[in-house]
Amino acid sequence: MPVTSRGKLDRKRLPPPPADLGMGEGDFVPCESRTEKVIEAVWQELLGYDDTPISALGDFVALGGNSLLAGRATTRLRLELGLKSLPGTAMYMHPTIQALAVFADSMPKLSKKASGKAPTADDARRAFKGYSSTANATVIAGQAGVALWALSLNQLGGLPTHVVVWAVYQRGGALAAAFLGLPFATLMTMVYLCAIAIIANQLLAPDVPATFVLKIPLWSAKYLSWLSAKHATRFAAKCLATYLAGTPALGTFYGLCGATVGDDAVLDSGVEVEDPKFVTLGAHSRARACARVAPHFVDCGELVLAPVGLGAGARLEPRSSLGAGGVVPDDHKLDGLSSVGGAALESPVDDVLPLKAKTPRARRTALRVSQYLVGVPLLLLLEGCATFAALKACEGLVALVDPATRTYSQIAVVAVAVVWVARVAQCETFFVLTVLAKKVFVGSFEPGPRDPADTADCFRRWLLDRLVHHPFFCGATEPYVNTELLSAKFRMLGAKIGSRVNIDFFDCVEFDLISVGDEVVFGSCVVLHPSDEEEDAMIVVEEGANVLDHSTLLGGVVVEKRAVTGTC
């Protein structure tokens, strides 16, 4: 193949393509209908065939199409043919021009009764694009108000805790502050943040209309109200998830915010649920790590909301996404890394698969009692121990300064150092306690089948999950990204990690099932998920491999030597 001076393919030196592009066996079939000719013109432009005719039986992928070009072609065809709901998977579901034209002709067109023509580029330019974010002083003032609201909620999550702990410390010392003041402040913070979120959703969030699809102009007053309710819900859910992710309590919170939630619906760590009034979570459903439920998207300057549904016993697998209009039926699962719903307002079935066995409908009373009455108090106890260590470290630091001879410069240095020492001592102590809890209470994980009905096994996984996703644990690991210190800390939790491994942090719970060779590079926001409902399986990343940003590796994956991987 001809190449440029840089070693890349030189397209200008390639021979002209044959005249019967896309033909397999049989004669060339010309495009005849208007729809076929429009598709042919779009493909010719995007695939680089200029005016060379393409057979109506030409296959999109065989002609050189890929996922990026499929997205661009879909956008063009939506405009040229007036098919606003043409799905992004159309090029793969109907890969030939003829099949795609038949599918497109069967879809409802945009309303153009007066002219009988499809929308043009001028129509698109004249279409409503929403209020400009800098249109006038009123819009800017509204955005500033929402920003102040979000900042206030952020401070409400931490400032009262510090005030309460300091007040109790002044009266009762470090022991009382750590084991009485901190738990009280934590519970108080959860209660009032949840109350704010519930009230905000009732007063500010829009209701589901009779038509089921709601459109709100961007930056309008109604949009800013929706955004304010979204911030309140997010901060409250984040606070609750620290202690209660993986239990029905988080689903109950969303139910109070307006969602329809069945019994024993469970949301795991990192799960995002937005617009609760548009969400239905069936009984015994489960959203696993980092799944997302988002019943909205933005289109032509408008926020579009449509209901979503997760059926009874249904599951969202890791990093799957349930978008606007999406539905996962009873006892089905949305496969990992997949999505349904969204801008097309439809729910394709390709990635929605039936479960091998129906989800049991029995209440897991023993597990819930263990989580609420043992797990949560244990988390608060470990928090208290870490805070007690931080307070004693600060006392030792302050004692270094003689009150009789201290100067303003000494006071300033100590004031700055106290903040740093308190945070480091608190987080590092919590990390050490997590390692001890892993060895004493949780134990190790081995590859092989697992019983999802085993209460003790489910509880130990849940407890470790809560520990490694606690803000104190993150404070003890995230500062050490891209260093050998982070590798050493993960080894303490059971991971098998070689030397000179560059880790830009990865999210994992069952560290015993991770094996990483020498000189491996991890990008940011990587998720390693070696366990599912049926078995634990090793994740192996061999020497010199590169795991790119936002990758998700599931159990049983092997990344071979010097391989570069996205998501598996």
The whole-number pLDDT of residue 63 equals: 84
The whole-number pLDDT of residue 12 equals: 61
Q: Which amino acid is at 215?
A: K
The whole-number pLDDT of residue 124 equals: 45
Q: Compute the distance between CA of residue 350 and CA of residue 328 in angstroms, rounded to an integer.
A: 11
Q: Compute the distance between CA of residue 150 and CA of residue 156 in angstroms, rounded to an integer.
A: 10
- CB neighbour class for 63 (10 Å; exposed up to 12, middle 13-18, buried from 19): buried
Q: In which region does residue 424 sit, left (phi positive, over 0), alpha (psi from -120 to 50) or beta (all else)?
A: alpha
The whole-number pLDDT of residue 504 equals: 84
Q: Which amino acid is at 463?
A: L
Query: What is the tally of helices (H) and strands (E) in the chain?
Result: 16, 29
At 129, list the tokens.
Answer: 């694009």
Write down the H helix ranges in 18-158.
34-47, 67-81, 90-93, 97-105, 121-126, 137-156
Strand-strand pairing, 339-340 and 321-323: parallel
Q: What is the pTM of this model?
A: 0.76
274 SS3 class: coil
Can you give the pLDDT of all 568 residues of the chain as single tens digits? 676 554 555 666 666 655 444 444 456 888 889 899 999 988 888 888 877 888 888 888 888 887 777 877 887 887 788 776 677 777 877 889 988 998 888 776 654 433 344 444 454 444 444 555 555 677 788 889 999 999 999 888 788 888 999 999 999 999 999 999 999 999 999 999 999 999 999 999 999 888 788 999 988 899 999 999 999 999 999 999 999 999 999 999 999 999 999 999 999 999 999 999 999 999 999 999 899 999 998 887 889 999 999 999 999 998 899 988 888 889 999 888 888 877 655 545 557 888 888 878 787 899 999 999 999 999 999 999 999 999 999 999 888 887 777 788 878 888 888 889 999 999 999 999 999 999 999 999 999 999 888 999 999 999 999 999 999 999 999 999 989 999 999 999 999 999 999 998 888 999 999 999 999 999 888 999 999 888 999 999 999 999 988 888 988 999 999 999 875 5
Q: Compute the distance between CA of residue 313 and CA of residue 334 in angstroms, rounded to an integer.
A: 12
Reported residue count of the chain is 568
**What are the C-alpha distances in Å from 285 to residues 242, 251, 320, 366?**
20, 10, 14, 18
